[in-house]
Amino acid sequence: MTSQMHLNLNLRGIGFHRAAWRHPESQPTEVCSLEYYTRIVQAAEKAKLDAVFLADSPKVYSEREPLAMSNEPLTLLAALAAQTSHIGLIGTISTTYNDPYEVALRFASLDHLSGGRIGMNFVTSSGDAIARNFGFDSHPDFELRYERAAEFVDVVLALWSGQQVTHHGRFFDVEGALPIVPSPQGFPVLVQAGASDRGRDMAARRAEAVYTGSSTIPNGLEFYDDVKARLAKFGRAPQSAKILPGVVPYIGSTEAEGKALEAELEELATKNVDVIGQLGDELGVDFSIYDLDGPFPLEALPHYTQFKGGQSRLNRLRTWVQQENLTIRELAVKVEKGLRNVHWTTSGSAEQIADELESWFRAGAADGFNILVPLHPRGTLDFTEQVVPILQRRGLFRTEYSGSTLSDHFGLEPELRPVPQPAPAR
């Protein structure tokens, strides 16, 4: 664990609450506006946050999701790079539906244009809906996705080495070099999210920042200790990868105000959602044969090889059921309430939120956090203007940037970073 925590801000358009678009302080018509994101990111930079992060999933999940994710990450981050000077800019790319040469060139170019502030979050994507957008009937199975992802990242790193690449692998054939020299930080920071065994191994092998859906200190500790231990298997130091759980904070000037904001957003949520049907569709389970108010049947959860969604999500659903003894109905409601995410959610005063972050950090369950505010832009201001100053006064977070690149912010000294080398011919 480092002496100070790292903080990233997620730029999900309207925020992480499913009813955020209905709140009077929300600005749903602005989610495609550069000015909207500029205000948010400049507030994060003023607070000295490490980075902002843009997720990406090229599909529409439901009638409410277009308000959540509306911009292609690299396009928006390129525009934001011109509006900022220090804060890191992390974008997501699918290793399943892209080619490594194009991705390597796009990220390397943006890393130059931003002065070395770019991170690449590599994901395998999930769900058949995405596959159909790219001309496929179904999403590749789990093992195939991860084998492709591993080769993809190897090729990208080889291209970032600045050398001629001759690679003939199972998934890619690449012969050539990027027409660009290394950036001020050498190459973009590698970011990954994944809680399965394969995902943890990939994180330990290549990732420099790892996003996780840990929801309690005990399961946060399990993930943290496991990934840090795996780093040694790949010859890497523990501090070479930062573990950053996601947290959804409802912040008020008092505990009552924080909880009131959560209650207000819940009141605004759409009530005519078939939560049990949604959960059944996601898991591929017909819950009509079960007692909805009886113990959740663990045998109904799919094996990871049959689940087309994210493994972090499947693991978290299983943990919730086992640790909280949930019924089918309770799990379905919990999943819907959390905008179908699996992250730690907390509400209270800024002081209480800071206390909880400090507890996780000092317990060794996190190197920092991925902040998923429930409502943009209010949540960003609540966090940066109320919570961050408390963490700074406690010596838990920086008061000034000590460097200019994203790898500087994460404390990734050159000897801690992966060494880009030409990918071996196969």
| Residue range 228-240: mean pLDDT, rounded | 95
Residue 177 in this model has a pLDDT that exceeds 50: yes
Q: How far, in Å, CA of 314 to CA of 38, rounded?
A: 34
Q: Assess whether the previous peptide bond of 377 is cis (omega < 30° from 0).
A: yes
| Residue range 151-178: mean pLDDT, rounded | 94
CA distances 305 to 2, 19, 282, 370, Å, are 36, 33, 14, 28
| Residue range 254-282: mean pLDDT, rounded | 84
Residue 283 in this model has a pLDDT that exceeds 70: yes
Residue 312 is predicted with a pLDDT of 67
- Round the average pLDDT of the chain to a whole number and report it: 88
Burial of 196 (0-12, 13-18, 19+ CB in 10 A): middle
pLDDT digit string (tens) for 319-369? 778 888 889 888 887 777 654 456 788 999 999 999 999 999 999 999 999
Q: At what angle do helices 100-113 and 142-160 cross, to 10 degrees?
A: 50
Token reading at 201: 């191994």
Residue 66 is predicted with a pLDDT of 47
Weakest mean pLDDT among 168-172, 198-202, 396-400: 198-202
| Residue range 218-238: mean pLDDT, rounded | 94
Q: Domain check: are 293 and 367 in the same one?
A: no
307 contacts: CB under 8 Å, gap ≥ 6: 142, 283, 284, 314
Whether 422 is covered by a domain: the verdict is: no
Q: How far, in Å, CA of 356 to CA of 250, rounded?
A: 12
Q: Domain check: are 37 and 91 in the same one?
A: yes
Q: At what angle do helices 350-363 and 217-233 cross, to 10 degrees?
A: 40
Whether 24 is covered by a domain: the verdict is: yes
Our count of domains for the chain comes to 2
Distance of alpha carbon 286 from the chain centroid: 30
Q: Domain check: are 45 and 92 in the same one?
A: yes
∠ CA 322-307-303, rounded to 5°: 55
Residue 222 is predicted with a pLDDT of 94
Residue 67 is predicted with a pLDDT of 56
> Between β-strands 165-168 and 173-176, what pairing exists: parallel, antiparallel or unpaired?
antiparallel
| Residue range 218-236: mean pLDDT, rounded | 94
Weakest mean pLDDT among 88-102, 191-205, 324-338: 324-338
Report the greatest alpha carbon distance in the chain: 61
Residue 424 in this model has a pLDDT that exceeds 60: no
Q: Domain check: are 289 and 395 in the same one?
A: no
What 3-state DSSP class applies to 122? strand
State the DSSP H helix or E strand holding residue 227, giving kind and residue range, or none if neither: helix 217-233
Residue 60 is predicted with a pLDDT of 58
Phi, psi dihedral angles at 177 (to 5 degrees):
-145, 155
| Residue range 247-262: mean pLDDT, rounded | 96
Binding residues for FMN: 56, 92, 146, 196
CA distances 319 to 75, 312, 342, Å, are 37, 11, 10
Q: Are 406 and 51 in contact (CB under 8 A)?
A: yes
Whether 343 is covered by a domain: the verdict is: no
State the DSSP H helix or E strand holding residue 260, giving kind and residue range, or none if neither: helix 255-268
| Residue range 282-293: mean pLDDT, rounded | 87
Residue 342 is predicted with a pLDDT of 61
Token reading at 385: 């203007």
Q: Domain check: are 325 and 362 in the same one?
A: no
Residue 205 is predicted with a pLDDT of 93
Whether 39 is covered by a domain: the verdict is: yes
Residue 98 in this model has a pLDDT that exceeds 50: yes
Whether 291 is covered by a domain: the verdict is: yes
- Please list, residue by residue across 286-298, b when 16 or more beta carbons sit within 10 angstroms of its beta carbon and e when fewer do: ebeebeeeeebee
pLDDT band at 68 (very low <50, low <70, confident <90, very high): low
Residue 277 is predicted with a pLDDT of 86
Most confident listed range (18-27, 190-199, 360-369): 360-369
Looking at residue 359, its amino acid is: S
Q: How far, in Å, CA of 7 to CA of 44, rounded?
A: 10
Q: Domain check: are 364 and 323 in the same one?
A: no
Domain range enclosing 31: 6-252+349-416
| Residue range 133-147: mean pLDDT, rounded | 82
**Sign of the dihedral through C-alpha 172, 187, 183, 41:** positive
Q: Domain check: are 267 and 398 in the same one?
A: no
Residue 86 has a CB neighbour count (10 Å cut-off) of 18
Whether 248 is covered by a domain: the verdict is: yes
Q: Domain check: are 268 and 222 in the same one?
A: no
Most confident listed range (139-143, 197-201, 216-220, 238-242): 238-242
Most confident listed range (50-59, 68-77, 173-182): 173-182
Whether 353 is covered by a domain: the verdict is: yes
Binding residues: 56, 92, 146, 196
Residue 170 has a CB neighbour count (10 Å cut-off) of 10
Q: Domain check: are 31 and 65 in the same one?
A: yes
Residue 350 is predicted with a pLDDT of 98
CATH number of the domain that residue 371 is part of: 3.20.20.30
Residue 59 in this model has a pLDDT that exceeds 80: no
| Residue range 158-174: mean pLDDT, rounded | 93
Residue 95 in this model has a pLDDT that exceeds 80: yes
Q: Domain check: are 266 and 230 in the same one?
A: no
Residue 170 is predicted with a pLDDT of 94
Q: How far, in Å, CA of 34 to CA of 126, rounded?
A: 28
Q: Domain check: are 317 and 173 in the same one?
A: no
Q: How far, in Å, CA of 108 to CA of 92, rounded?
A: 14
pLDDT band at 317 (very low <50, low <70, confident <90, very high): confident
Of 337, 361, 385, which one is at a domain's C-terminal end?
Answer: 337
Q: Determine what percent of the chain is predicted with pLDDT higher than 90.
A: 59
Of 276, 304, 337, which one is at a domain's C-terminal end?
Answer: 337
Of 275, 303, 337, which one is at a domain's C-terminal end?
Answer: 337
Residue 107 in this model has a pLDDT that exceeds 50: yes
Whether 426 is covered by a domain: the verdict is: no
Q: Determine what percent of the chain is predicted with pLDDT higher than 70.
A: 91
Q: How far, in Å, CA of 313 to CA of 216, rounded?
A: 15
Q: Domain check: are 31 and 79 in the same one?
A: yes
Weakest mean pLDDT among 81-85, 177-181, 237-241, 329-333: 329-333
Phi, psi dihedral angles at 183 (to 5 degrees):
-80, 175
Nearest CA to 208 out of 193, 223, 191 is that of 191
Residue 81 is predicted with a pLDDT of 98
